[in-house]
Structure 1
Amino acid sequence: MTTTAAMAFAATLSLPIAGVSFAADLLPSEVKAKVSGELVWHDGSGGATTRAREETVIKAFKEETGIAVKGDFNSDMTKFFAAMDSGASIPWSMIEFPTKGDFIKARDAGYLQKLDPAVVDLKKVGESAHDEYGIDVLRYGIVFTYNTEKFEGGNAPSSIVDLYDLKRFPGKRCLFKYPQFGGVLESALLADGVSRDKLYPLDLCKAFAKLDTIKAEILWWSNGDDAIRLLASGECAMGITWSGRAYGAVKNDKAPLAIKWENSLFSQAVYAVPVGAPNAIAGQAMIAHFISDIEGQKALVNEITYTTDVVGLDSSSYGGDVAPWIVAGDNAKKAIEENATYYAQHITEVVDRFNRWVALN
């Protein structure tokens, strides 16, 4: 596949999703009566994930409430925590935490409002998918991905540890330029022989020593669209991407990509409302609408394959095409859940160590 074709993939995702119908009156009338103005939300995903939401669940929310919705994309939570730590006023009325660890850190710091049960019906999600302050959403794979034009048949890699075998699998490696929710440190430890059940707490010295062995071959990406562009064009032979991004590239642009769940990771985002939100009722209502919108959830998962534990939906609700791409069944058993508690407690130390390592020649 040419670089031009790979870049064209991104444009296709900006088109409306054909055949999607939106249910009306998902929110109680007394809630809708209180919702007005503008809602700015902290978008921890961006790219294809956000475009899919904007054409499905966000579109339905806007149509029902008439509110203006604006996403503010940030690839990690640094900006949010800096604002909250300083006590500065914030623009966001709903926060998407890209990992459960980020959410736990914010919750325990007192930076989040409790969800209002009069607005957010927690019975609409599974018992383990929420607490008083947030809803687990968009469960996603952090998956080993390779270019099938570089490796095929019996010569294809089979596991995330193959990232570190430059002799058998030559070529550039595409990795997320952030140590959390990209599997960078975990992949290094697995390749160094650490067992799945002994990954956490992360041995940072051992992880960076292993990363040193491939550092010259790493191309860093900062958003999911760039990861797909680099892999689909062949600039990278293999890497780690988010599962929905790889699915979208294969589905929409026939990108020459394959994923392997073996020893890959998975995590989930969390929606919450911050203390000091300028339009808190709209933030609460957006979360309530998201977990009530069954048809929107189906349409969203068929675009980006990130599932939410909404009552009445399971892996069979979305059609057979997405089954190999969602975190469920055998896929979930083969993969490893990122340890949210570890990152909530150690993220500052880990990010500092990671940034200093990246900066070294």
Structure 2
Amino acid sequence: MPKLPKRLPGMAAVAASLLLSAACGAGSAAPASIDLGTGPAKSGTVKKNALSGLNMTFVSYGGAYQEGQQKAAVDPFAQESGAKILQDGPTDYAKIKAQVDSSNVTWDVIDTDSIWAEGQCGKLLQPLDYTIIDKSKVPEGLATECSVPAMQYGMVLAYNKDKFGASPPQGWKDFFDTAKFPGKRGISGNPGDSAPGPFEGALIADGVAPDKLYPLDVDRATKKLQSVRSNLVFWKTGAESQQLLESGEVDMAMLWSGRAYAAVKNGAPFDVSFDQWMPTMDSLTVPKNAKNPKASMALINYYLGAQQQAKLTELTSYSPVNTDAKPELDEKGRSFLTTRPAVADKALKIDSKWWAEHQHEMIEKWSAWLGG
């Protein structure tokens, strides 16, 4: 099930390099041996020219997000390591499966949804080598056997501050209270996808305690969603969610923090409540049977560096995944960082393991409700 293009403004194609195909040499045989140097791994570093003559392919979701990844980490890694790295995308799970099943894997490092990655560990994805990848600066609990976070963001509640004035909605209970807070609400509505957000928000609004959310009571959640259905405006892509805010078509929305930030930067009169926001992240992964796994691990290790993560945040507004990263942002940009303690402390705890085990079932139930 391919994911939609990711959650940033300007989802135009990344530079012409995205048009390069694997046939140009990506995934070529590795040198007889790769010498990454001695001593413990240190994120953000790679031995000079350690991968000279090696072709690799980095895969992500395109647009401003992948362009930021390329500028912040992938291109500098290529320059230092000597590898030639092609860009490809968007990430497509059917293509990953086809490559692995045919034992013809041409993608080396892939940016994927974190829940999908958890469910595919040992199946379509291989375990990461943490003797090459330094995860010591990654927040505890975010690195898994087969993935490390690529960046962090969240599902948040955005509201029209001109309309709601001094008494704005504060959380998901208010989002579902159409009497106290009348108006249209934007919410994700892609029948081919289901992820944390609508079900959790509906259950919180219906009185479920945050620490009792899982396993999700889908029938109860859909009943709550149905109660406000006439007030909902469904978006299918990040660009659509952002446009709902900028056009004024909705008075509040459940959407990705990067899109909310982009809308505010473009002049939309919206603010964000981080009460009960839902943490989300992309993950960096290596497909099973990748031809150059050691080189893939080296690229991931470099990507996690503090300098690389700070630059990525400056280019994309997404929060860094290195605790030493210090991105230079204006006040508004800093206010949207989900890693700030004042924001992080308000997050709902999402059970990604439960989601990974039930995602197919959740997609079916979500699609059924949308089509009902």
Q: Paired residue for 2:314, among 286, 290, 302?
A: 302
Deviations 1:236-277 (Å, cap 9, x if unpaired)? 2211111122223323x2332211111221122221101133
Q: Paired residue for 1:143, among 156, 170, 173?
A: 156
AA aligned to 1:171 is G
In 2, the alpha carbon distance for the partners of 1:91 and 1:163 equals 45
Secondary structure, counterpart of 1:334 in structure 2: coil
Superposed displacement of residue 282, structure 1: 4.9
Classify 1:285/1:354 alpha carbon distance in 2 versus 1 (closer, same or farther; 3 Å): same
Answer with 345-354 or 86-95: which moved more.
86-95
AA aligned to 2:55 is G
Q: Which runs of 5+ in 1 are unaligned?
A: 1-8, 16-24
Superposed displacement of residue 186, structure 1: 0.7
AA aligned to 1:61 is F
AA aligned to 1:97 is T
AA aligned to 1:94 is V
AA aligned to 1:33 is S
Answer with 125-134 or 188-197: which moved more.
125-134
Superposed displacement of residue 148, structure 1: 3.0
AA aligned to 2:216 is L
Aligned ranges 1:195-344 → 2 under 5 Å: 195-251=209-265, 253-277=266-290, 280-292=293-305, 294-310=306-322, 312-313=324-325, 318-319=328-329, 321=331, 322-327=333-338, 328-344=340-356
Give the total of aligned pairs: 331
- What residue number does 1:359 align with? 371
**2:47 is aligned with 1:28:** yes
Q: Paired residue for 2:187, among 175, 194, 199?
A: 175
In 2, the alpha carbon distance for the partners of 1:69 and 1:84 equals 17
TM-score by length of 1: 0.79
Deviations 1:173-211 (Å, cap 9, x if unpaired)? 221235644511111111111111111110000001111
Answer with 277-286 or 190-199: which moved more.
277-286
Superposed displacement of residue 115, structure 1: 2.5
Superposed displacement of residue 229, structure 1: 1.3
Q: Is the 8 A contact 1:84 1:111 kept in 2?
A: no
Answer with 120-129 or 228-237: which moved more.
120-129
Q: Which runs of 5+ in 2 are unaligned?
A: 1-8, 16-43
Superposed displacement of residue 91, structure 1: 4.6
TM-score by length of 2: 0.77
AA aligned to 2:248 is G
In 2, the alpha carbon distance for the partners of 1:32 and 1:162 equals 54
- What residue number does 2:29 align with? none
Q: Is the 8 A contact 1:182 1:240 kept in 2?
A: no
Q: Is the 8 A contact 1:181 1:338 kept in 2?
A: no
Classify 1:87/1:161 alpha carbon distance in 2 versus 1 (closer, same or farther; 3 Å): farther
Larger % of helix: which?
A: 1
- What residue number does 2:362 align with? 350
Q: Is the 8 A contact 2:187 2:198 kept in 1?
A: yes
Classify 1:300/1:208 alpha carbon distance in 2 versus 1 (closer, same or farther; 3 Å): same
In 1, the alpha carbon distance for the partners of 2:364 and 2:137 equals 39
In 2, the alpha carbon distance for the partners of 1:126 and 1:335 equals 15
- What residue number does 1:58 align with? 74
Aligned ranges 1:91-130 → 2 under 5 Å: 91-99=106-114, 101-107=115-121, 109-117=122-130, 119-123=132-136, 125-126=138-139, 128-130=141-143
Superposed displacement of residue 40, structure 1: 4.3
In 1, the alpha carbon distance for the partners of 2:141 and 2:88 equals 27
Answer with 134-143 or 177-186: which moved more.
177-186
In 2, the alpha carbon distance for the partners of 1:290 and 1:127 equals 18
In 1, the alpha carbon distance for the partners of 2:95 and 2:84 equals 23
Secondary structure, counterpart of 1:337 in structure 2: coil
Classify 1:187/1:275 alpha carbon distance in 2 versus 1 (closer, same or farther; 3 Å): same
Deviations 1:24-71 (Å, cap 9, x if unpaired)? x9421353325x33514143xx54433433443334335444624324
Deviations 1:318-344 (Å, cap 9, x if unpaired)? 456243212231212212132111101
In 2, the alpha carbon distance for the partners of 1:129 and 1:95 equals 17
Secondary structure, counterpart of 2:76 in structure 1: helix
